[in-house]
Homo-oligomer: A and B are copies of this chain.
């Protein structure tokens, strides 16, 4: 036949997602299919919820999966919690802040954008000032802005939002499982993540959690489908949710003991996430955060020693993404192409104003390994030299190795 079986070339994925799935996760997906209401399968769904609560550091009952990629999980939570006309403040410090605005505009929310230069984060005072000036139903924030590599501290902002009575809805797609996220401690009303970054499963599922305040809103927006409605079902008092597929109310019914039929749960992705969460529990979150942090330190030491410059406000850089300024006269596409085609290593470009100006290196999940950091630094040195960039040869890998050596002491 013209079409061959799947047989991908070897790849080391050092982009900010998708990254390599843990081999345990890939193996779990090979298990045969269970029916969606098979007690063995619903038991797995419940276990997934329980493990997800650990990973999100939350006690929220409503902690489950949406059968979309992370973007769909964001839309599900945002359009479930925010009604048409609700005022939402979006402090945007990169592309994904605009995505939150885009999603909310489509569902009729009244958006106020606070903008900041790409490569920086917000001060808590800026948020407080905005909340003082006007009253908002919610603040929607990116935690790790992969387009710029910046990470927004959220603890103080959670307190400010609580003080001013605004929900705080957070996109932790890039950080969950790699950098610290504490949903309850930080007073996040809702938090959304994906699978293809630090969780190290394939893309195709979104992890979500939200508190009772949002549960209450969802209850008031609920509408049960005619085909399966019973006499006990009443329609809610708030505006209905715009999408049927991305409907938090129906998803809640499906993930709760009622198990009301909605979509058919994505069986193999459920297996994948279940195993990915088990991997995190085996490693523990603390060890996982430390691993990402150490690999980040080694990577940055290597880049600095080589003489490459790291983009943005270093103090607020995510430990799981590093952006480097593309040296003058060099085409980023050529660097990426050579790394991919000659070394089988993938790194990423950026978007919008940073497109062609920075290269982004991911250090996420299963891909976050000493071996990958060292291999990448060696390859990057060779490719930079090939492109006539003046760098300190032999320094990059050595500096990274020194970081690892010191960490062992």
Name A's B-contacting residues (CB within 8 A). Answer: 1, 3, 5-11, 13, 15, 17-21, 26-36, 38, 40-41, 44, 47, 50-51, 67-72, 75, 94-96, 98-99, 101-103, 106-107, 147, 194, 196, 202-204, 225-228, 240-246, 261-269, 271-272, 274-275, 277-278, 281-282, 340, 346, 351-352
Contacts and interface: CB of A to CB of B under 8 A. Distances in A.
A69 B31 contact: no
Contacts of A278: 1, 3, 5
Contacts of A227: 94-96, 98-99, 102, 147, 351-352
A95 B242 CA distance: 20
Given A246-B246, A264-B196, A8 B31 contact: yes
A276 to B, nearest CB: 11
Contacts of A47: 3
Contacts of A5: 28, 275, 278
Nearest to A34: B8
A253 B379 CA distance: 33
B32 A18 contact: no
A120 B21 CA distance: 47
A33 B13 contact: yes
A225 B99 contact: yes
Given A13-B33, A245-B246, 5 more contacts: A26-B30, A67-B203, A75-B245, A196-B267, A242-B242
A70 B264 contact: yes
B31 A7 contact: yes
A91 to B, nearest CB: 15
Contacts of A204: 67, 204, 266-269
A31 B271 CA distance: 16
The 8 A-B residue pairs whose C-beta atoms are closest, nearest first, are A204-B266, A95-B227, A202-B268, A98-B227, A72-B245, A69-B263, A203-B264, A71-B263
A99 B381 CA distance: 57
B18 A75 contact: no
A196 B33 CA distance: 10
A242 B275 contact: no
Contacts of A38: 11, 340, 346
Given A11-B34, A30-B27, A68 B67 contact: yes
A13 B33 CA distance: 8
Contact of A264 (B18, B31, B36, B261): B18
Nearest to A266: B204
Contacts of A20: 32-33
B351 A228 contact: yes
9 contacts: A1-B278, A11-B34, A21-B33, A70-B263, A94-B227, A101-B226, A102-B225, A103-B244, A228-B351
